[in-house]
Amino acid sequence: MLPEDWTPHRRDDGELLGWIHPSGDEWVAVDVLGRVASDAVDWLDAEAALEAVGLAWLADVWMLEGEAPGPLRVRFIEVTPSVGSEIGRVVVKVDDFGDMQRPPTERFTLPWPAPARLRPARPGDPDGRTL
């Protein structure tokens, strides 16, 4: 459930970028995965942090740990934050490299906010092309 003091922040087209919530006399930005996107800053800097992060990263490859011996390359299918009594979720699928001819890849439903075991890809992670 989203705390009542979280204010949604949207792009000009209405797409949700995250939330801004109070932290003492300052504000903290939180992205759509429920992760902190800024330190405690003034309101305009919190907005700028969400604008800088944007949503393009949702199209990137991420890594999911704990489901296989090594990290799995995954892509987002759904990110639904908790609203009211509705429990949020993050759904990812094993990266299929956009191949529409292959059978559907395995999906994983994770809680929202997203757990730390779902993380951006970093150097040294499996690239999916090397065995």
**Distance (Å, rounded) from C-alpha 59 to C-alpha 99?**
15
Cβ–Cβ under 8 Å, residues 29 and 19: yes
Q: Is 59 helix (H, G, I), strand (E, B) or coil?
A: helix
Cβ–Cβ under 8 Å, residues 87 and 68: no
* Residue 32 resides in a domain: yes
* Residue 1 resides in a domain: no
Q: Which domain holds residue 23?
A: 7-55
Cβ–Cβ under 8 Å, residues 93 and 77: yes
Dump pLDDT digits (tens) for 75-114. 999 999 988 788 899 999 999 877 777 788 899 999 999 9
86 and 104 in a single domain? The answer is yes
Dump pLDDT digits (tens) for 32-83. 999 999 999 999 999 999 999 999 999 999 999 999 888 999 999 999 998 8
64 and 39 in a single domain? The answer is no
- Give the count of domains, the chain: 2
32 and 49 in a single domain? The answer is yes
As given in the structure block, the two tokens for residue 52 are 């800088």
